[in-house]
A and B are shown apart, each in its own frame.
Chain A
Amino acid sequence: MIATNSSFSQGKQSRNDLNEIFQESFALTWRLFIQLIRRPSTLFAGILQPLIWLLLFAALFSKAPVDFLPGSSSYGEFLGAGLIVFTAFSGALNAGLPVMFDREFGFLNRLLVAPLSSRSSIVISSVIYITTISLLQSFAIMATSAFLGYGWPSLGGFFLITITLLLLVFAITGLSLGLAFVLPGHIELIAIIFIANLPVLFASTALAPISFMPEWLGLIASINPLTFAIEPIRMAYHNSVDLKLVLINAPYGEVNGYSCLAILFILTVGLFFLIRPLLNRKLA
């Protein structure tokens, strides 16, 4: 027989907000990973695309004069850092898509009717999922890059790369989640992802140093968040990790490693503060 409300309290966990937030966040994250395991094409596409870039672009510019590339012995080596960041960036930019589909297909309503201890669980699960995916994809690019002979960072360098990628992924995930709640549907979100992806890449130091660029593009590249992530990673590949070193010779002045990380941190915190009222309203 179907029991009624009398035994509900027996089935409940002892009431502890942290336990509850953990339980619901874990369940929501687990759902996203089940989706990934059963539909892994997005994961592979996210790895494959930058790999093709790495192979083709490195081949395309293999005879370029490497003396102009700061600290690199080949164009492939120079390109590696850019593509690691681009992979993480592209992955994070897609963070809003699962949320958008849940909004459109009504699954979000199922979550919103439930007495979640904190609606942040919905955001937390997306952030955990996208961060893991983006890091996995980026590490796959690093491994391939090493296999192609473009080097592997030291332990300190690896740590710096991870921190840098985490900051960038958090910031872009926040932006994408914000868009997922503002835009009317997935078509619009995908359109923005398409429009943003390549121009942001080209207007950064992923493919060429600032010194190669006309002044206007150099200025854009020197304020592009991707550049602040690419240069510390490039340093992690080429030098011993020294964040005091000047990494970007921007038109507005010199930017060292600490400043790069600080800017990414401020961007992440700023974006999350910016979307917080929106998430509060949408998930209220």
Chain B
Amino acid sequence: MFFIQLKNLYKSYGSIKALNGLNLKVPKGALYGLLGPNGAGKSTALRIICTLLDPDSGDVEVAGHNALIEEKETRRRLGYVAQEVAIDKILTGRELLLLQGDLYHLNKNYKKARIEELIERLEMNEWIDRRCGSFSGGMKRRLDLASGLLHEPELLILDEPTVGLDIESRAVIWGLLKELKNNETTILLSSHYLEEVDELSDEIAIIDKGKVIASGKPDDLKKKLGGDRVTLRVREFSDELEAESVRKLIKNINGVSNVVVNKKQGYSLNFLVQSNDVISNLSECLAKENFDVFALSHSRPSLDDVYLQATGKTLMDAELELAGKRDLKLENKKSMR
């Protein structure tokens, strides 16, 4: 059974297409990771699921309810921890949680007990009665997570929950998410941290340019690549012509597959090898054609390799590329209610 289903979602901010036919199915009780560079459309998708934003077209179903029509039913079921922590600087942490409890119509005794429970679990005792304006990024994020969990939502949505956080806060949040994962809470988490998604998620979807380009269990996606990842450079800074010649040469070697030229990283070549023997063959082949080996690295495949395979660039490069194209002011303006 799927707890969230997104069908053909489209959303544009002016001329920028944030979502371009996004389809997603999140199983009930899963911790589902959305991986992609900043600007890929993850936050837009999450804001639509949270009923904060209407798509230009497409369907959104949450717990069997049409989230675009049955908004209140959807809201009752979810807790949302936004990327930009919006807290009232004048209130104390506890006052903010009490306010949150009233917005979710919790009764007095339950609300107080639940707040104490969350303060304890998220290790907020020492500072919860201080004004939010004095909190560090990690403290704010923990408080925000506590408000998202206050009403025990069936669905917890976290937008980049640990971006820019100190190690202690990150450990606390990861610990809590792992605990929640063992209960029946469905968690949808967006991140551009590979290790976070890899470590926490049962399933993931990789989003690029507003649509899903790969989805499944992280291990399955990595296995699908069919071998170990090799990065080869014949010179420190190669050129397109040379890289293309090497690509043609090595793609015919037995046991080599998925050869990609990575322009952003000095025309290095990324490919998969079936076994270590293939590396020996490769070196011989290159030597025979008078190509040097400036650098050669060999590793188990990561989610970054899955992304690289699908898009021809690493997640980091995609982020740098998108960073220059985004008009954050326009996006903020368009998303402001």
Q: What residues make up the interface of A, taking CB atoms closer than 8 Å to B?
A: 1-8, 10-13, 19-20, 23-24, 26-28, 30-31, 34-35, 38-39, 103-117, 181, 184, 282-284
Contacts and interface: CB of A to CB of B under 8 A. Distances in A.
A38 B90 contact: yes
B91 A31 contact: yes
7 contacts: A3-B117, A3-B152, A4-B180, A24-B102, A31-B88, A31-B95, A113-B78
A239 B259 CA distance: 94
Interface string B91-108: 100010011101111110
B123 to A, nearest CB: 13
Interface range on chain B (Cβ under 8 Å from partner): 35 or more
A92 B25 CA distance: 48
B105 A106 contact: no
Interface string B250-281: 00000000000000000000000000000000
B249 interface: no
B336 A2 contact: no
Contacts of B104: 114-115
Given A20-B105, A109-B82, A5 B336 contact: no
Nearest to B106: A11
Contacts of A34: 90-91, 95
Interface of B: 50-52, 71-72, 75-76, 78, 80, 82, 84, 86-88, 90-91, 95, 98-100, 102-107, 110-111, 114, 117-118, 121, 131, 147, 149, 151-154, 176, 179-180, 183-185, 333, 336-337
B105 A117 contact: yes
Given A4-B183, A4-B185, A12-B105, A113 B52 contact: yes
Contacts of B82: 106, 109-110
B105 A108 contact: no
A2 B106 contact: no
A265 B240 CA distance: 76
B72 A115 contact: yes
A144 to B, nearest CB: 29
A253 to B, nearest CB: 44
B102 to A, nearest CB: 3
Contacts of A12: 105-107
Contacts of A104: 336
Contact of A24 (B86, B103, B151): B103
B88 A26 contact: no
Contacts of B99: 27-28, 30-31
Given A39-B90, A108-B337, A2 B121 contact: yes
Contact of A112 (B52, B151, B153, B183): B52
Nearest to B111: A11
Contacts of A31: 88, 91, 95, 99
A104 B337 CA distance: 9
Contacts of B153: 5, 8
Given A2-B117, A3-B152, A115-B76, A107 B88 contact: yes
Nearest to A284: B71
**Which A-B residue pairs are the 7 nearest by beta carbons?**
A27-B102, A106-B86, A11-B110, A114-B103, A115-B75, A4-B183, A115-B76
Contacts of B117: 2-3
Interface centre among B71, B75, B107, B336 (most CB of A within 10 A): B336
A31 B98 CA distance: 10
A106 B84 contact: yes
Contacts of A39: 90
Given A4-B152, A5-B153, 19 more contacts: A2-B180, A3-B114, A3-B183, A7-B152, A11-B107, A13-B106, A13-B107, A23-B102, A24-B102, A27-B102, A35-B88, A109-B86, A110-B103, A113-B51, A113-B78, A113-B80, A115-B72, A115-B76, A117-B105
A112 B337 CA distance: 9
B52 A4 contact: no
A35 to B, nearest CB: 5
B336 A103 contact: yes
Interface centre among B180, B336, B337 (most CB of A within 10 A): B337
Contacts of B107: 11-13
Nearest to A110: B86
A24 B152 contact: no
Contacts of A113: 50-52, 75, 78, 80
B110 to A, nearest CB: 4
B154 A2 contact: no
A98 to B, nearest CB: 10
Nearest to A121: B103
Contacts of B336: 103-104, 184
A39 B121 CA distance: 32
B179 A1 contact: yes
A282 B53 CA distance: 11
Nearest to B155: A5
Contacts of A117: 105
Contacts of A105: 86
Contacts of A11: 106-107, 110-111, 114, 151-152
B53 to A, nearest CB: 10
A104 to B, nearest CB: 7
Nearest to A16: B105
Nearest to A105: B86
Contacts of B131: 38
B336 to A, nearest CB: 6
Given A12-B107, A31-B99, A109-B52, A5 B185 contact: yes
A94 B80 CA distance: 30
Contact of A2 (B98, B102, B103, B176): B176
